[in-house]
């Protein structure tokens, strides 16, 4: 897999390592990934940083049997849309389970996502497991 720009990787560390997104105090809406501007409130929005709990449920999922380059050793794996308890949805791998269903409760775990190459950077981030 072609390596992501190092500056982008570095900027996304708080988001990927510990689910840091944002929250609009004006309309009480949580955003993940982070938004600089609240699309509902526009200029009236009061955006602040928010760390998500990592708890949520499976909103939708698919089983990946032919993964993209860099994920060959992990296939087959489950890729799911997880609805966080704070509201936002995100796409992530489900670990430690071969069968899941919509509505299953999940929690975030810290895992290796991909390695650029044998000598390259190791990218870490969130995945989810059933609770």
Partner 1 sequence: MQSVGIVGYGVCVPKYRIKVQEIARVWGEEGDRISASLGIIEKSVPDIDEDAATLAVEAARNAIAFAKIKPDAIGAIYVGSESHPYAVKPTATIVAEAIGATPNLTAADLEFACKAGTAGIQICMGLVGANMVRYGLAIGADTSQGRPGDALEYTASAGAAAFVIGREKEEIVAEIEATCSFTTDTPDFWRRQHAEYPSHGGRFTGAPAYFRHIIGATQALFEKTGTRAADYDYFVFHQPNGKFPIEAAKKMGIDPQKVKPGLFTPIIGNTYSGASPIGLCGVLDIAKPGQRILLTSFGSGAGSDAFAIRVTDAIEKKRGEYCGRRLSDYLNDKEYIDYAIYVKHRRKLKM
Query: Whole-angstrom Cα distance, residue 58 to residue 60?
Result: 6
Distances from the Cα of 92 to the Cαs of 49, 56, 79, in angstroms?
Answer: 21, 12, 6
- Is 11 a binder of Zn ion (CB under 5 A)? no
- Is 50 a binder of partner 1 (CB under 8 A)? no
Query: Whole-angstrom Cα distance, residue 42 to residue 92?
Result: 29
Stretch that binds partner 1, among 9-17, 26-34, 35-43, 55-63 (CB under 8 A): 9-17
Stretch that binds partner 1, among 1-9, 55-63, 66-74, 79-87 (CB under 8 A): 66-74
Question: What are residue 105's DSSP bridge partners?
Answer: 57
Please pick, from the candidates 13, 27, 37, 102, the single residue that binds partner 1 as defined by CB under 8 A: 13
Least Å from the CB of residue 89 to partner 1: 22
- Is 91 a binder of partner 1 (CB under 8 A)? no
Stretch that binds partner 1, among 22-30, 58-66, 69-77, 83-91 (CB under 8 A): 69-77
Within 13 A of 122's CA, how many CA atoms are on the CB side? 6
Q: Which pair of structure tokens corresponds to residue 128?
A: 């989810």
DSSP strand pairing (89-95 vs 77-84): antiparallel
Residue 125 neighbours by CB distance under 10 Å: 20
* Contacted entry of partner 1, Zn ion, none for residue 17, CB cut-off 5 to 8 Å set by kind: partner 1
Least Å from the CB of residue 62 to partner 1: 18
User: Number of residues in contact with partner 1, rule: CB under 8 A?
Assistant: 18
């Amino acid at each position: 897999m072609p390596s992501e720009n190092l500056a982008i990787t570095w900027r996304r560390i708080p988001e990927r390592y510990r689910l840091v997104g944002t929250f609009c105090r004006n309309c009480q809406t949580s955003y993940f990934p982070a938004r600089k501007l609240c699309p509902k409130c526009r200029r009236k929005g009061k955006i602040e940083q928010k760390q998500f709990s990592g708890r949520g449920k499976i909103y939708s999922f698919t089983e990946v049997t032919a993964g993209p380059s860099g994920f060959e050793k992990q296939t087959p794996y489950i890729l799911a849309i997880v609805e966080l308890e704070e509201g936002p949805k995100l796409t992530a791998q489900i670990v430690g389970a071969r069968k899941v269903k919509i509505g299953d409760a999940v929690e975030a775990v810290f895992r290796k996502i991909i390695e650029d190459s044998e000598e390259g950077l190791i990218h870490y981030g969130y995945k989810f497991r059933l609770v």
